[in-house]
Chain A
Amino acid sequence: MTRRTTGEPLPLQFAPTASRLPERIVPMRPTDGEGPFDDPGYFFEPWWPGIRAFVLVEDGAVRLRAEALGDPTAAFPELAGVVELVRADGVVLDATLMVLDARGRPSRTLLDQRLAGEGGGCGSGGPGGRAGTSRGSAALVASDLLYLEGTSLAALPFGERRGELAALLRPSSWCLAGRGFIGDGTTVATALGVLGFRALSARRLDAPLRPGSARDAWYRVPVVAAPRELPPFLAVIRRLPL
């Protein structure tokens, strides 16, 4: 792909700052889908159970922007390690932030505890201390790349942004680009139901980023949960997270 050297007019508000990255990010919001579908023009991946977070990597530092939470960076000191996994600077990732329990399953409770500790400043380890990190471990699954080398990728089609993301992010045990599948959304939905996911993300491969409603560029599709009574062999799978 061609990498732009100058930013195009962005659908984002800039504050006067030395940073190349925007002070405020207006996210693209998914449309609620009715049910799983097959379409070779769409990319299907799990709707990871966590909070949506934008991860800004600039000058060797990592900042987080989460919806309605402002800056939860201090509650997740271990995310500073993202710097070492990203092969470029001036990067903004669109990601899902989760907290995994001791068995590696995403835990809403642990996530809320982390966020609450950050807000109230009641952590015994002081601000930004390690006190919060003893409960579960933070994990990031990146799904989109918004900025690269300080330049917005908003005009690129999603497929190309995703390709850039895969090339940019060195996968680690706690931070990686999510696994996704093109085309057979109904099959992926079935598989997600078995694993206990509640929803499926369907993104149109040729759609650029647009702030606000995504219209047909991105759907959040509910997934029907698999029957609760699992065949005995699933005990094997249940040892895995989720």
Chain B
Amino acid sequence: MARSMWRGAIQFGLVTIPVRLYLATDSKGIAFNMLHASCRNRIQMKTYCPFHDDVISRGDTVKGFEYAKDQYVVITDEDLSSVPLRTVRSIEIEKFVPARPAEDEPVRFVKQAYYVEPEPIGKKAYALLREVLAEQGLAAICKVVIKDREVLAALNPHANAMVLETLHWPDEIRATDELDLPSDDVEIKPAERKMAAQLISAMTGEFDPTEYRDEYRGALEAVIEAKVEGRAIAEPDEAPVGGQLVDLMAALEASVNAARTARANRDEEAAAEEAVAGRTAAAGRRPKKIVPAAEDAEQVEAPVRKLVRRKSA
């Protein structure tokens, strides 16, 4: 595995577990370099000092904090390491909480995931903490300083390791007030709800991340490869994914079922009203319905498959 990002210790109560953090994820985007359009040479970004009118090296720079307009205080590495905070070299566990946020709890907005590896001396304590977290279904909410920033994090057991997920601070999370969201009193008819539920249930399955891949990256790589080899770039493939007509039939089916339900509900209500009025429902003014309910309606049909989105189980 790559170089560790961070060294320190997990702290809770009197227990100290020395650990290292490693990035758990890679960013697989395709990176481009900037070239000068006319000569196709790679451009350089120079660090330039306008006072000396000269290009300087990065080693000749220091960190400055702008405390007022054009007024800076220089912060050195020594200043940073002397920050009087316990979390500088430690992952300070504040609280143990259920591993999965409850329904009424806010979503945990994850910034970055790190694998946590114990130093040899901390292996046993590490295993113990992981075991108990997994057994009790808990996560540890902690604070840690990574790259000059104190971050909130959740420590979770993950297979035989632990994963530290850094979270956004509550004040970093924007409110939803500015969004134009539907109000609570949107009127949804039972039939509409049922229709939506049917469509959703037809597409419900287990989440298996291996089923998904970054198709944009694949297509972009193919374009690059074709250019490298001097071939013409393939046209975007508009060919449909399978199941299009089947989707139409499924939508039709769901819509008809919803309409039938809606009608059955209306008829029931009307029958009840008429009974109250002392009349028999059969004498209603509505045109006589010949096929009364969905179950009775015999159907001649092609054996249309159900939605085929799901992978074969």
Contacts and interface: CB of A to CB of B under 8 A. Distances in A.
B182 A191 contact: no
B238 interface: yes
Contacts of B304: 171, 176-177, 179
A166 B302 contact: yes
Contacts of A39: 290
Interface residues on B, range: 35 or more
Contact of B289 (A43, A137, A184): A184
Interface stretch (A11-19, A25-33, A234-242): A234-242
A65 interface: no
Contacts of B308: 173
Nearest to B262: A190
A173 B245 contact: yes
Interface stretch (A113-121, A157-165, A207-215): A157-165
B200 A236 contact: yes
Contacts of B186: 231-232
B244 A181 contact: no
A232 B290 contact: no
Interface in A100-132: 100, 102, 104
Q: Which of B243, B252, B303 has the most CB of A within 10 A?
A: B252
A141 B182 CA distance: 38
B196 A176 contact: no
A182 B300 contact: yes
B281 interface: no
Interface in B57-109: none
Nearest to B302: A177
Contacts of B313: none
A154 interface: no
Q: Which of A137, A181, A195 has the most CB of B within 10 A?
A: A181
Contacts of A173: 240, 242-246, 308
B16 interface: no
Interface in B188-224: 188-189, 192-193, 195-196, 199-200
Interface in B246-297: 246-256, 258-260, 262-263, 287, 289-291, 297
B300 A169 contact: no
B244 A137 contact: yes
B248 A184 contact: no
Contacts of A91: none
B5 to A, nearest CB: 41
A183 B290 contact: yes
B178 interface: no
Interface in A37-58: 38-40, 43, 46
B287 A38 contact: yes
Contact of B247 (A46, A166, A178, A240): A240
Given A38-B287, A191-B256, 12 more contacts: A159-B300, A166-B303, A173-B245, A176-B249, A179-B249, A182-B299, A183-B291, A183-B297, A184-B289, A184-B290, A190-B263, A233-B195
Interface of B: 182, 186-189, 192-193, 195-196, 199-200, 235, 238-240, 242-256, 258-260, 262-263, 287, 289-291, 297-305, 308
